[in-house]
Each structure stands twice: as structure tokens, then as C-alpha cells.
Amino acid sequence: MALIRSVFQDELDSVSQSLVDLTSMVSASMEQATTAILNSDLNLAQEVIAADEKIDDFQHEIDARIIDIIARQQPVASDLRALVTALRMSSDLERMGDLSHHVAKIARLRHPDPAVPTELIQTITSMGSAAVKITNKTGIVITTRDTDMALEVERDDDEIDNLHRQLIGVLIEPTWKHGIETAIDLTLLGRYYERYADHAVSISRRVYFLVTGKFAS
């Protein structure tokens, strides 16, 4: 019986590590997408777009393993909750990869022209850095199940929300001179970064619930 439990625990640990690996993939994707949008780097944008398929495939493989574990082991109580939570986290991470993909697609669409006007380069740079930071912290939360850090992720999200508001504030100024098309691109960009961070918060909340059995307030 102890051996069976040990094998099952190894499978759970493997799923957790795969989620951390997927987090690293998603973080790298957003970092590269931000570089592509800021530098009008078509090749890098294409790499991010191509990498999204790898993220999708990896997520599907994780989900298939989780479903297989549930079918074979028929877990109950906390073990079942951990596996169902892992399914939901993998979905959040896959969506984060999609949002990185969307950022890269704007870079590709506008190439060779810059997608970000000079006066907003710092704002987008800060949003990209904050997004990568929050993703990396989320990976640590998944690994350690640190509930204090899980709550930090939610507070870190405020930084991106504030930057998003700053971005929208610039776009609606009467002095805006870059046209409707650029304004639409930047509105979408801001939304992509904001939603990306929201998914990271969702993952951290799931870890918090997994550990405490309570929803983060």
C-alpha cells in the first residue's frame, strides 16, 4: 500500500513540475513578445507565434496525464482537489500563452513600422516586465504552495492595472496624434497584458484554495 501511495505521489509531483515548466515557457513567450513589439522584431514575433503551438501541445499532454491519473487512481478528497486544480491551472497557463501570441501578432502585423509610439515605450516596457515578474512568482507559488506569496501575486497585479489605466489615459487625451489604428492596437495590447496577469492571479488563488480550503479574500 505504501508503495502504491509513493508511486501516486510521484505522479502528482510530476504534474506539479510540468505546470512549473509550462509557467517558464509562458514567461519566456511574453518576454519575447514584449521585445518583439518594442523593437519591431519580425523574426522574434514569428518565434513567439510558432512557440504557442508547443505551449498548447504541452498543456494538452499535462491534461491527458491528469485525466489518466484520475481514471487509474480514482483519488478522493485532497488528492482529487489537487488534480482538478492542476487541470484548471494548465488552462490558465495555456491562455497566458495565447495572450503572448496576440502581442506578437500585433508586432508582425505592423512590421516594419513600430507598433508603439515613442511616448508609450516605457509604459509597454513596464507592463511587459511586470507580466514576466508575476509569471515567475506564480511558478514559485506552484512549487512551494506558499500562501503568502500567492497573495503577493494578487497585489502585484495592481501594478499592471495601474499601468493599463495610464495607457488608456494617454489614448483618450485630445492631444493624441497617432490615429485610430494605433490607438486600437494599443488598447488591445493593454488588454492582453491585463488579462495575462489576471490568469496568473487566478492560478495563485487556486493554489491558495488548494492549501487552505478557503478562497483568498
Q: What is the CATH number of the domain that holds 51?
A: 1.20.58.220
Domain hosting 16: range is 2-212
Determine the Cα–Cα distance for residues 71 and 186; give it in Å rounded to an integer: 45
pLDDT digits (tens, 9 = 90+) for 109-161: 999 999 999 999 999 999 999 999 999 999 999 999 999 999 999 899 999 99
- Work out how many domains the chain is built from and give that number: 1
For residue 61, tell me if it sits in a domain.
Answer: yes
Among candidates 66, 80, 53, 51, which has minimal Cα distance to 19?
66
Residues of the chain scoring pLDDT < 50: none
The predicted pLDDT at position 6 comes to 75
Determine the Cα–Cα distance for residues 187 and 170; give it in Å rounded to an integer: 10
For residue 185, tell me if it sits in a domain.
Answer: yes
Q: What is the pTM of this model?
A: 0.95
For residue 113, tell me if it sits in a domain.
Answer: yes
For residue 59, tell me if it sits in a domain.
Answer: yes
Contact status, residue 126 vs residue 56, Cβ threshold 8 Å: no
Burial-class residue 174 by CB neighbours within 10 Å (0-12, 13-18, 19+): exposed
The predicted pLDDT at position 3 comes to 53
For residue 217, tell me if it sits in a domain.
Answer: no
For residue 74, tell me if it sits in a domain.
Answer: yes
For residue 89, tell me if it sits in a domain.
Answer: yes
The predicted pLDDT at position 7 comes to 81
Rounded to the nearest 5 degrees, what angle is found at the Cα of 136, between the Cα atoms of 79 and 193?
105
The predicted pLDDT at position 77 comes to 85
For residue 100, tell me if it sits in a domain.
Answer: yes
